[in-house]
Amino acid sequence: MSEPRRSKVRKLLGRDARLWKVAKASYSAGLRLNRRLVLATTWKSKRDLLALQSGGLQVQLGGGDRGIAGMLNIDARMTRAADMVADCSRLGRFDDSSLTMIFSNAFFEHLYRQQQLPLLQDCFRTLKPGGLLLFLGIPDFESVCREYLAANSGTIADYSRLEWAYRYTHGDPEQFPEWWSKQLHKSLFDSDELAALARSAGFAAVMVFRYWYPGETWPVNLGLCAGSSVSEAVVRQLLERFGEYVDVTTVDVIPSVGKS
């Protein structure tokens, strides 16, 4: 890292490290409003710091309580992992060609249908050349129907077969009454729909894959990877970083949607 960069990083760290500590402490103490205020003043510094440290900014949309190190973690709710509290259905706060990765898990299906294409267009606009979009954990309606009709029994806690289908199609929002509407799935997807949306947004290379979530025995999750150039090898290598979300041994790239 060059000296001017190093001194920028030192400056950002010096000023905001104390604020971040206050933010974390206030959350632990239950002072959520304080933390919201602190985040409103610190997210830009964290953004600049991450961009400098990792050679480009990576963001996580709808990260909930699961923060990812090295990414700017954003959620509509003030969660313990959030670096920024914002509606992720648009990325208006980010400049053109300013991001190297846009990641989400179990988020895209929480948007209304009319919000999907505008968000993907924003992703296309904000990604740098060579940058990648990776959306995981999107329930595959086709597979959910297939498994339901085959009367397979799943390995998700004590869910009955119908409750299990509801978990995937609707998100089982009743488990989180205080943020029911954010948890509700507002859309259904299959692989064709996902790929068509990404292409309409402008992405030249689009891959969709099906996989099992770790510990589950259902191939009902879809992943979408898009960029200017995406190969199966790139996707598989990328997924190694996200083993917490994907049983990588089960990844099955859907060949038909790989074609333009």
**Nearest-approach distance from CB 231 to ligand SAM, in angstroms:** 26
Angle at 241 between CA 113 and CA 259, to 5 degrees: 50
Amino acid letter for position 197: L
Interaction site with ligand SAM (CB under 6 A): 62-64, 66, 75-77, 87-89, 105-107, 110, 182
By beta-carbon proximity to ligand SAM, the closer residue of 54 and 179 is: 179
Per the document, the length of the chain is: 260
Q: Is residue 109 within 8 Å of residue 185, measured between CB atoms? A: yes
By beta-carbon proximity to ligand SAM, the closer residue of 63 and 227 is: 63
**Nearest-approach distance from CB 99 to ligand SAM, in angstroms:** 16
Q: Is residue 203 within 8 Å of residue 226, measured between CB atoms? A: yes
Tell me the two tokens of residue 66. Answer: 């699961």
| DSSP letters spanning 239-253 | HGGGTTT--GGG-EE
Name the residue with tokens 């790139």. 234
Q: How far apart are CA 9 and CA 11, in angstroms?
A: 5
By beta-carbon proximity to ligand SAM, the closer residue of 106 and 123 is: 106
By beta-carbon proximity to ligand SAM, the closer residue of 103 and 203 is: 103
**Nearest-approach distance from CB 203 to ligand SAM, in angstroms:** 21
By beta-carbon proximity to ligand SAM, the closer residue of 45 and 105 is: 105
**Nearest-approach distance from CB 73 to ligand SAM, in angstroms:** 9
**Nearest-approach distance from CB 255 to ligand SAM, in angstroms:** 27
